[in-house]
Homo-oligomer: A and B are copies of this chain.
């Protein structure tokens, strides 16, 4: 089970040889890690990174995956940023979960993000649990897992860690940075931090800062985890327990916010779960109950509770407006990147208006920006699903931009 990944020790000391060297863990670490950790590519970053919290990290791993081929001009690379519970396995079969990659609808041969044409890079975020430096790693000082001793990280820290991948592949300028939800936040932060490192930028279904309601839902998830008897103040690994009930509740809460009221009603309504009538008990009478329980249960097999705390915290802390003293436009003043912003009609987590606010900020400085609101009943999750209008818009923008010689 993947939750046991939390027990894996990534011995960073072994890798102190050269900066930014690639390691294919499948060979080196197969003896000390689980078999299903095969094929996790990891870049060990020796160069110190000063985090927003004030602490400095170095010799830390960033796990990543690539798809397609980098061309000789090295001008066809797209850096994809994943959302809260995503990872680097964008498409194809995820070698850990054995399920489809989280963006299989959008990424692949001839798909919206065409792997026949583009070279795709995606990294597990800092704080994550798919190989990148996170709270399930060992604290070299205590020789125990970090748990909540791991430094609180931010979206800014995440992109500052990931930009090292460009040097690894000797890419001077990406063709695009793309991401939905928290991935979109990383897109915005990346362009702001590295204004000349991408030709285009596609933030999807995101926001420039978390609203009070967004923070509330994330806090609910964190409280659900902390309420779990097995969380043990984040030290569950040393305790040989897993706060899976709390994490499942957190996932259920989040999952409701990913779907629209209308979408839920159309898909589930009041349909009963394999029964002709109500059972007058607390089993899952309704399909929606069964569905939510299932979503919670499968999530705990692939995600680490402390990572959930850290990544939601990073999302709540994200405030690009505040970073630029209340003027979002200033975040983008130094970039010539061409933006394409996409929102969904039924997304109530990051509604169209919050996406439009980014468009407005870009327009205010005369940036090159396109925007589309896609009609969909599938809520915030629309960006992960088979929503043809969205996928067409994404493909059109990318392919048209790629064909423009002077971009």
Contacts and interface: CB of A to CB of B under 8 A. Distances in A.
A248 to B, nearest CB: 7
Contacts of A215: 270, 286, 288-289
Interface stretch (A60-68, A116-124, A160-168, A223-231): A223-231
Nearest to A310: B282
A348 B227 CA distance: 27
Contacts of A151: 280
A319 interface: yes
A211 B264 CA distance: 8
Interface string A301-343: 0000000010001001101001000000000000000000000
A223 B249 contact: yes
A216 B292 contact: yes
Contacts of A52: 280
A148 interface: yes
Contact of A268 (B212, B223, B228): B212
Contacts of A209: 270
Main secondary structure, interface of A, reads helix
Contacts of A264: 211-213, 216
Nearest to A287: B212
Interface string A242-254: 0001101100110
A261 interface: yes
A75 interface: no
A140 interface: no
A217 B256 contact: yes
A277 to B, nearest CB: 10
B229 A317 contact: no
A298 to B, nearest CB: 15
A148 B256 contact: no
Contact of A253 (B152, B230, B253, B293): B253
A53 interface: yes
A93 B362 CA distance: 54
A285 B224 CA distance: 17
Given A211-B269, A219-B288, A219-B293, 7 more contacts: A219-B252, A219-B289, A223-B249, A227-B228, A227-B246, A253-B253, A270-B322
Interface of A: 52-54, 148, 151-152, 209-213, 215-217, 219-220, 222-224, 226-230, 245-246, 248-249, 252-253, 256, 259, 261, 264-265, 267-270, 278, 280-282, 284-286, 288-289, 292-293, 296, 309, 313, 316-317, 319, 322, 348, 351
9 contacts: A53-B280, A211-B264, A212-B265, A213-B261, A213-B265, A216-B292, A223-B252, A226-B245, A249-B249
